[in-house]
Structure 1
Amino acid sequence: MHALSVRVYYEDTDLAGIVYYANYLKFIERGRSEWLRDRGIDQVALKVASGHVFAVRRVEADYLRPARFDDLLTVETVLSHMTAARIVVEQAVRRGDDLLFTARVTLACLDAGGRPARLPRTLAAALAAG
């Protein structure tokens, strides 16, 4: 499991002073990017070398409790499974022991033309090893 700390800033909140619902998607995006980086996957280098990129295909989200301004959150990311062209991750946002948000995210691998593509072998191996 990968963990990323995220502080809630004023800009992340709505008029009620709680994190605006769409900002959880930004938090988990950061978590996924750092999870890939932690496994030695440089997304910019991957795009330059082979044209491969990831696109979110599906998000199943559950908002459980609100986060508020200045909360310190932890974004957890873990690989659920992979197919030849997709990666599925489970993500959670916590404030201490409190579970605030969960998501199951399916990422599709695309080639330089934006068409579905198989995961590069080195990438799949790095994810499987992590």
Structure 2
Amino acid sequence: MMHRWPVRVYYEDTDLAGIVYYANYLKFIERARTEWIREMGIDQSALKATDGLVFAVRRVEADYLAPALFDDALIVTTAAERITPARIELVQQVLRDDAVLFSAKVTLACLGPDMRPRRLPGELAQLMRS
């Protein structure tokens, strides 16, 4: 399943040259991951409160391919590439029209209250696979 989330580039997202500051792509993909999880019906606050589980970024491999500019309408895509018992590996892209501007492979770890890896609940893993 490919999740698509729209984002507009605001002045605050850019540097003096009017292009998106490199670190802001990480913010864009973070927000898109949150919306992807929310649209699956997963309440991350409830997951933390009831099971003590949270997701943490373990690894990001990023490629900056072309600049996004002030006022661009972008789409951030998120797709699960691989789900293991305690990790979620995603591919995320930032696109303007059909052009890929930024691409990232993101590994999320499921952590328990002690901040050690925990298994994803079965129903959660199944939702992410569909």
**TM-score scaled by length of structure 1:** 0.97
| Aligned residue identity for 1:105 | V
1:36-115 alignment to 2 at 5 Å?
36-115=37-116
Q: Which residue of 2 aligns with 1:7?
A: 8
Q: CA deviation at 1:39?
A: 1.2
User: Between Structure 1 and Structure 2, how many residues are aligned?
Assistant: 129
| Aligned residue identity for 2:123 | T
CA distances 1:40-79 after superposition (whole Å, capped 9, x unpaired): 1111110011000000000000000000110000000000
Q: CA deviation at 1:89?
A: 0.5
- The alignment yields a C-alpha RMSD, in angstroms, of 0.7
CA–CA distance in structure 2, aligned partners of residues 127 and 97 of structure 1:
25
SS at match of 1:108: strand
Q: CA deviation at 1:120?
A: 1.3
CA–CA distance in structure 1, aligned partners of residues 14 and 60 of structure 2:
21
CA–CA distance in structure 2, aligned partners of residues 115 and 68 of structure 1:
39
CA–CA distance in structure 2, aligned partners of residues 120 and 109 of structure 1:
10
SS at match of 2:16: coil
The answer for unaligned runs of 5 or more in structure 1 is none
Segments ≥4 residues shifted beyond 6 Å: none
Q: Which residue of 1 aligns with 2:23?
A: 22
CA–CA distance in structure 1, aligned partners of residues 126 and 65 of structure 2:
34
**TM-score scaled by length of structure 2:** 0.97
CA distances 1:100-124 after superposition (whole Å, capped 9, x unpaired): 0000000000001111111112211
Moved more, 117-126 or 62-71: 117-126
| Aligned residue identity for 2:68 | A
Query: Alignment identity in percent?
Result: 64
